Amino acid sequence: MQIKNEILYHIHRSGPHSSIWNVGSRINWVRKNKNIFNSFFDTHHFMTDNTNGNGSKYLLAAIECFRKQPIEFKQAQINNYLEMAYNVIKEQCMFIRETIFEEVRNSYFPHLPSRKTCIWVFEKEAVEYWWKSLDAQQNLIFELQLTGSKHRADQKHLANDTLDHDTLRSLAFQYWTGAEGNKSIEEEILFEGVIDVKRSFNNVDEFKKAI
């Protein structure tokens, strides 16, 4: 959907783009750079924490080393290895999902904002939900005037597990088709275009007093 001068809100996390996020700024956010959420995968090595001193930086090598250890070592360290495996598998599943969702968008919905390069915004009624969901205590809330392309979608289609790729493609089609409107506060809104930064707020209480 194309919008012009629509007021929406954004929770900003500190990162490489922080220098341009200032009240009064105009930001041309049109598919140039990956957002923080997706650029994470370009540089993160999914290494283990290597607290067990086995010298293995990556998960499969660490598990292979673990399998060869005496039973006493396995019993003592199993919880550590399960925690490492869970964290790495979760991130890799997310990467696969994002790759497939972008594949489907490129092929069938190229006019919609990309999850790789968009920013996420929300309506004022959803501020408390997103502040809590993102655990955003150290971040800022910005009021934005937006002109460009937005897409409203249901989060329920963002499965993050070891699903087969065809199931993920089916979920992607449902995601890019658009939100059903059953839980509007919890819906995602993706945006790409021109951003005019109008106001900033340090927390939800400050936001609610001003809006």
Helical (H) or strand (E) element with 200: strand 188-201
Q: Would the pLDDT of 77 be above 60?
A: yes
pLDDT at position 33: 67
* pLDDT at residue 142, as a whole number: 96
Element (H, E) at 207: helix 204-210
Query: Which pLDDT score, from 0 to 100, does residue 51 have?
Result: 47
- Structural domain span for residue 95: 2-210
Domain count, the chain: 1
pLDDT per residue over 177-193, tens digit each? Answer: 998 777 788 899 999 99
The size of the chain, in residues, is: 211
Q: Enter the tokens of residue 210.
A: 């001003």
Other C-beta atoms closer than 10 Å to the C-beta of 122 total 22
Q: What is the pLDDT of residue 54?
A: 52
Q: What would the two tokens of residue 4 be? A: 């012009």
Whether residue 58 has pLDDT greater than 80 = no
Summarize pLDDT for 11-56 with one digit per residue, the tens: 988 766 678 899 999 999 886 666 666 666 666 665 555 544 555 5
From residue 202, give the alpha-carbon distance in Å to each of 18, 36, 43, 70, 131.
15, 20, 30, 52, 11
More confident call, 16 vs 160:
160
How far from 42 is each of 33, 36, 38, 90, 100, CA to CA, in Å? 12, 10, 8, 16, 16
Residue 26 CB neighbours (<10 A): 10
Give the rounded percent of residues in the chain with a pLDDT score beyond 90.
Answer: 58
Average pLDDT of the chain, as a whole number:
87
Distance CA(154)–CA(152), nearest Å, equals 7
Cβ(23)–Cβ(198) under 8 Å? yes
CA dist 146 and 193 (Å) reads 7
Which has the higher per-residue pLDDT, 33 or 79? Answer: 79
